[in-house]
Structure 1
């Protein structure tokens, strides 16, 4: 919560919809972010829902935000697709990425209307741009087909930042939805969709990648659920990139990549900078501000003390 001691001013509320929001560093960091961005009297309120909660639960959450006179909006994590599908008729306007991706990561109230945005194509591009070179697009293997995977692949296709993309997911439904999104984008990036839940098959797919390729863990495994989408037998591409989208949890995929970092000349990234960029872009939309590079650097600096250490 961000408020002066003894203040009688009614606090604005900014809702954080997730699974275990109380464990997120954002709950502790938001007061410092609010000061850096001069957001005024505003508090962050966590709203936890189980994975794939029923439509009624999502509609109740959105209804509360819509009716809260002090509410500014919300950041949505984990539930981006399910919430959008359950509440589409409750939004007064939907941005182009939300329409394209069929998800929302940001709700913002303006002029009495509730607007839905999909901001991950923007924030994922900013995070990816910090470590993955665009000059010579390579192969990308994305393990997972949820909201983050959709956003990242949309960004890669729009920027022509990948020569070939393989997306792996446990179920066919999400893959078909992603295929439709990519088709509407157009472009000439070759994309393969693989329905699979066997980590040994994922090992094989990683082993087929050429040097310099990017491997992404977008499954949620290591945070939302235990384990990793690959086994310890997987061999990451030489001089490649491993991106674990999570920054907290067991992070078994991250451990597997780190063990090969030196021997395979592997660049390993966790989800910390993606986390910061994700919040920054949502706050841009909710509070109608601009978070430029200098402000991102300040947000990162005040956040560093909360960055989880990983063995």
Structure 2
């Protein structure tokens, strides 16, 4: 199995995966990192996915940082996309099932479980709090999908703000959210400077949720 990222040797998954493998009884298996530059050349993504697809010993990959760029460059190389990957235009996992190469987007599930674990039930409804998500990549798209999903119609923030330092990602996210039919008001704010995010923060009421969904924590 491969881990496609930017600085994979520094990631916690490289230490955690062997323990998971032992506990799950997966037998002899290894995880190997593949480092790619941020927004790398599409040919590099195609080279990596083509290798995994053709190599019988490669069972799949975890994808971080490159989720949107990888699927955009390699969509035709996959035999199947799961529902979230198709809707959100990203791939956080690559797997082989029955000889077919599949792209999956698991962030809406995993980030939703993490958020629900620490956010009290009824939080939005009882506090009138808002949500501010910094970054407009795959993690941000997944969080917005969960927070504003139809299953939370009675408990959602009254205002949701997404910021990003470049306009392209904001435009893509706006389009994806429109396809989802999200009803929560979303403000898409261009924030090329750190001070711009500070300005948004000052507008939030107490109890609001702020998420750093950028790559800063992983790659800086």
| TM-score, normalised with respect to structure 1 | 0.66
Alignment of 1:236-247 (within 5 A): none
The counterpart of 1:163, out of the listed 158, 161, 165, is: 158
Higher normalized contact order (CA 8 Å, seq sep 6+, divided by chain length): 2
Q: How does 1:79-98 map to 2 (within 5 A)?
A: 79-98=66-85
Q: Structure 1 223/29 Cα, relative in aligned 2: closer, same or farther at 3 Å?
A: closer
Q: Kindly state the Cα deviation for residue 188 of structure 1 after the two structures are TM-superposed.
A: 2.1
Distance change >3 Å, CA 178–CA 134, structure 1 → 2: farther
**Residues 116, 177 of structure 1: CA spacing in aligned structure 2 closer, same or farther, 3 A cutoff?**
same
Question: CA offset at residue 176 of structure 1?
Answer: 1.1
For the residue of structure 1 that corresponds to 2:90, the secondary structure is coil
Instruction: Show the counterpart of 1:150.
Output: 141
Q: How far did 1:203 drift?
A: 1.0
Deviation at 1:133, TM superposition (A): 2.4
Deviations 1:47-79 (A, max 9, x none): 111111101100000011101102211100110
The equivalent of 2:205 in structure 1 is 210
Q: Distance in 2 between matches of 1:93 and 1:150?
A: 21
Post-superposition shift, 1:132?
1.4
1:32 aligns with 2:19: yes
| SS of match in other structure, 2:33 | strand
**Number of the residue aligned with 1:193:** 188
Corresponding position of 2:54: 67
Aligned partner of 1:239 in structure 2 is none
Aligned counterpart for 1:43 among listed residues 30, 37, 40: 30
Give the drift of 1:92.
0.1
Which structure would you say has the larger Rg?
1
Structure 2: where are the runs of 5+ without partners?
none
Distance in 1, matches of 2:119 and 2:16, equals 27
- Counterpart residue number, 1:114: 101
* Corresponding residue to 1:129 among 106, 116, 119: 116
Q: When the two structures are superposed, what TM-score results if normalisation uses the length of structure 2?
A: 0.92
CA distance in 2, matches of 1:163, 1:177: 23
Cα distance in 2 for partners of 1:187, 1:221 equals: 27
**1:163, distance to aligned residue in structure 2 (A):** 2.5
How many pairs were matched up? 212
After TM superposition, give the deviation of residue 99 of structure 1 in Å.
1.0
Please give the root-mean-square deviation of Cα atoms over the aligned residues, in Å: 1.2
Structure 1 ranges of 4+ moved more than 3 A: none
